[in-house]
Amino acid sequence: MARRLEIELTSKVDDETWTWRAAGARQPKGRLAGKLLHKGAKVGDVVRAEVEDDIEGIAVLSVLPPKTKRVEPELLEIFAPVERQPPAPSAAPPSDRKPRARAKESGDRARPDRG
């Protein structure tokens, strides 16, 4: 199953073969065909590659050109807020119940004697 990996081109062996390593790694990992690379590829380029693991190691199937930097900054578009209705009144409807009697100053409720 193929997966994407960022690779760095480490050296050009001959006109048709390049060595590569995972971006940020120390040692070269494998070789790839020069025909997979974009024109103007040079040592040190970091590109995205589609790779597949097999018995002999990692095989590079295809290489995408490096990402280009944007000239203009990336902007977020801000939309005006939608006009909202005022919130409904939060006052509770009048109640038929009597207000609770306040507890004694000690805070204890009157309890019947258990005896």
The better pLDDT of the pair 93, 40 is held by 40
Tokens of 54: 């097999």
The predicted-structure confidence for 46-78, as pLDDT tens digits, reads as follows 889 888 888 888 888 888 877 777 788 888 888
Tally Cβ neighbours within 10 Å of residue 3: 11
CA distance 76 to 70: 15
- Please determine, for residue 90, whether its predicted confidence score (pLDDT) is greater than 60: yes
Phi, psi of 52, rounded to the nearest 5 degrees: -140, 135
The share of the chain scoring above pLDDT 90, in percent, equals 0
The pLDDT mean for the chain works out to: 80
Pull the structure tokens for residue 75.
């902007």
The pTM for the full model equals: 0.53
Which pLDDT value is given to residue 115?
59
Q: How far from the centroid of its chain's Cα atoms is residue 21's Cα?
A: 24
pLDDT score at 3 = 85
Residue range 8-22, pLDDT digits in tens: 888 888 878 888 888
State the average pLDDT over residues 92-98.
Answer: 72
pLDDT for 46 equals 87
How many CB atoms lie under 10 A from the CB of residue 7?
24
Residue 83: predicted pLDDT: 80
